[in-house]
């Protein structure tokens, strides 16, 4: 995946995260869920929660009342409809998030890892080029000293023959 595509994906994710964080209705909706869970778990160590894992939302549909078929999800919906109906349309604040929902984080992480590895190789090669540059500069300095002391004319006497360099001494 080209770097430009990864940058576009990252921008979509940043916009998506900003919309999630800035959604007041979503925040109140989540606070309602936490309050409900804390009320149910009152008197236990779980009754003082300040957050939850997203996958625990699935338990809302699994937790049932003792006598009837009502789940915690049914109760939450009824509670919101009766006491906080303005929160029921919180998804409208999160419109245009479909592109972000299609991003597969595993693939993105793999691509970022590949880019990181490639960048490390580029840095390593750059360091090798810098070392080679220093060696060549030292060679050129040494060659100029030799040229002055032996009266060689490097510009005329160096013959580039593909692989090797032949030096001849002028008289």
Tens digits of per-residue pLDDT, 50-93?
Answer: 888 878 888 888 877 777 778 888 888 888 899 989 888 877 77
Please report the pLDDT score of residue 125 as a whole number: 92
Inter-residue contact 12 to 5 (CB < 8 Å)? no
Q: Return the structure tokens found at 91.
A: 């998804």
pTM of the model: 0.50
Architecture in CATH of 3-103: Up-down Bundle (1.20)
Q: Which residue has the higher pLDDT, 52 or 153?
A: 52
CB atoms within 10 A of CB 60: 17
pLDDT category of residue 168 using cuts at 50, 70 and 90? very low
Inter-residue contact 134 to 143 (CB < 8 Å)? no
Q: Which residue has the higher pLDDT, 62 or 100?
A: 62
Q: Which residue has the higher pLDDT, 95 or 134?
A: 134
Q: What is the pLDDT of residues 125-142, one digit of tens each?
A: 999 999 998 888 888 888
- Please tell me the least confidently modeled range out of 11-15, 133-137, 164-168: 164-168
d(CA 76, CA 31): 12
Please report the pLDDT score of residue 123 as a whole number: 92
In this predicted structure, the answer to whether residue 165 has a pLDDT above a threshold of 60 is: no
pLDDT category of residue 106 using cuts at 50, 70 and 90? confident
In this predicted structure, the answer to whether residue 118 has a pLDDT above a threshold of 70 is: yes
């Amino acid at each position: 995946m080209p770097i430009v595509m990864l940058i576009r994906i990252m921008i979509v994710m940043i916009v998506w995260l900003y919309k999630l964080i800035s959604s007041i209705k979503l925040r109140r909706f989540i606070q309602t869920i936490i309050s409900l869970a804390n009320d149910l778990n009152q008197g236990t160590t779980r009754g003082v929660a300040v957050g939850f894992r997203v996958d625990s939302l699935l338990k809302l549909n699994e937790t049932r009342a003792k006598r009837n078929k009502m789940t915690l999800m049914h109760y939450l919906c009824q509670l919101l409809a009766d006491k906080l109906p303005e929160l029921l349309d919180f998804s409208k604040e999160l419109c245009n998030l479909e592109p972000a929902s299609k991003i597969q984080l595993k693939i993105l992480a793999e691509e970022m890892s590949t880019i990181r590895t490639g960048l490390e190789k580029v840095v390593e090669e750059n360091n090798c080029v810098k070392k080679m540059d220093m060696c060549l500069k030292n060679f050129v300095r040494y060659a100029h000293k030799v040229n002055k002391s032996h009266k060689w004319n490097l510009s005329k006497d160096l013959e580039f023959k593909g692989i090797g360099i032949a030096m001849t001494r002028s008289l």
